[in-house]
Amino acid sequence: MKTGKGKFHTDGSKCVYGQKKTPKKYKPCCAMFNQCVTNCEYDIRFEYRLGFGQKKKTWGVIIPADGSMYPLNYCPFCGKKL
């Protein structure tokens, strides 16, 4: 669901489409990965943040049901180490 920056979903929650949570010197490994960085959290979205029980930030896929994150070590599209 793409509702846009500053918009809300039908359930009233704020949409983060178009917003990035990336490292300061972020350079995408491929166009598909870069698209997933700005997707809505109800689509496939990648973020660079602390996951549950982690001590340092890592890349991960956001799970919309509870906002948790599944960690990624490699890009699922091009295979480059993240």
Contact 78, 29 (CB under 8 A): yes
Q: How many of the other CB atoms lie within 10 Å of CB of 40?
A: 20
Q: Where are the domains of the chain?
A: 1-65
pTM for the full predicted model:
0.81
Closest CA to 54 of 41, 37, 70, 75: 70
Residue 55, CA distances (Å) to 47, 66, 73 in order? 16, 20, 16
Read off the pLDDT of residues 3-61 as tens digits, 9 standing for 90 and up.
455 688 888 888 888 889 999 999 999 999 999 999 998 899 999 998 777 789 999 99
Give the pLDDT confidence of 56-81 residue by residue, as tens digits: 999 999 988 888 899 999 999 999 99
